[in-house]
């Protein structure tokens, strides 16, 4: 939801790598588990992209099993420039610490693994503004079209907001730490809370 999950996770990984130099740390984005656009269209799920049913849960299960049994696994990489799963692959080989970021990070089955959960939030108007700015940057030519801008607004209202309200916002209760950001992406509040349950993974971030 454009709140800065990816940026936060990347900075966290860099800090962990600087501090825990003897540990192998991997950053996983839950977008990498999305079905490719072609598959989503075949399943009539393209308009539900980002909702739980748009993820390849078998691949998620394979990934979790690989972590649990200390096996390596090859995962696809989601490319946000084309908004689709790319042809590139990433090789995950028995990491000591896994940081998972994305809308699914604190939803099942990822939630079953987490040791530490961090929930990022901001005002709805701010997240929508950041979403528009991200779309404009990624699609500079198309952005001049009023039809394209309307398409972006419709996708936000009919896909992103309902998905957040139904499936993402409820996971806040599972977070150990909640971070709130202002319109300038500055941290304005941080508090710890008692999550409803613990888990077994090293780090999962939403």
pLDDT tens-place string over residues 125-148: 999 999 888 888 878 888 888 888
At 2, is the pLDDT very low, low, confident or very high (cuts 50, 70, 90)?
A: low
pLDDT tens-place string over residues 157-177: 999 999 999 999 999 998 999
DSSP 8-class letter at 104 = T
Does the structure show a pLDDT above 90 at 22? yes
What is the arithmetic mean of pLDDT over 195-205? 47
SS3 call for 177: strand
List, as own/partner pairs, every contact residues 44-49 make where C-beta atoms lie below 8 angstroms and the sequence separation is at least 24, other chains included: 47/158, 47/159, 48/159, 49/159
Superfamily of domain 5-205: P-loop containing nucleotide triphosphate hydrolases (3.40.50.300)
Which strand (E) or helix (H) includes residue 13?
A: helix 5-19
Q: Quick check: 154 and 47 in contact, CB under 8 A? A: no
More confident residue, 74 or 198: 74
Looking from the CA of 21 toward its CB, the CA atoms found within 13 Å total: 1
Total-model pTM? 0.86
pLDDT at 196: 56
Q: β-strand 25-29 against 97-101: which pairing, if any?
A: parallel
**φ, ψ for residue 28 (rounded to 5)?**
-120, 135
At 38, is the pLDDT very low, low, confident or very high (cuts 50, 70, 90)?
A: very high
Query: Percentage of the chain surpassing pLDDT 90?
Result: 68
């Amino acid at each position: 939801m454009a709140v800065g999950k990816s940026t936060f996770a990347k900075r966290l990984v860099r800090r962990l790598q600087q501090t825990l130099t003897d540990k192998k740390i991997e950053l996983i984005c839950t977008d990498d588990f999305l079905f490719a656009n072609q598959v989503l269209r075949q399943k009539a799920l393209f308009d539900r992209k980002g909702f739980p049913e748009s993820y390849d849960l078998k691949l998620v299960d394979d990934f979790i099993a690989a972590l649990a049994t200390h096996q390596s696994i090859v995962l696809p990489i989601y490319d946000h420039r084309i908004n689709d799963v790319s042809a590139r692959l990433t090789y995950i080989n028995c990491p000591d610490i896994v940081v998972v970021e994305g809308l699914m990070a604190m939803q099942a089955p990822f939630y079953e693994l987490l040791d530490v959960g961090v929930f990022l939030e901001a005002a709805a108007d701010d997240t929508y503004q950041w979403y528009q700015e991200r779309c404009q940057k990624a699609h500079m030519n198309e952005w001049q079209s009023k039809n394209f801008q309307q398409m972006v607004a419709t996708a936000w209202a009919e896909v992103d907001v309902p998905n957040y309200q139904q499936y993402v916002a409820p996971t806040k209760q599972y977070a150990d730490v909640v971070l709130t950001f202002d319109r300038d992406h500055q941290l304005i509040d941080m508090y710890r809370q008692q999550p409803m349950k613990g888990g077994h993974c090293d780090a999962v971030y939403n």
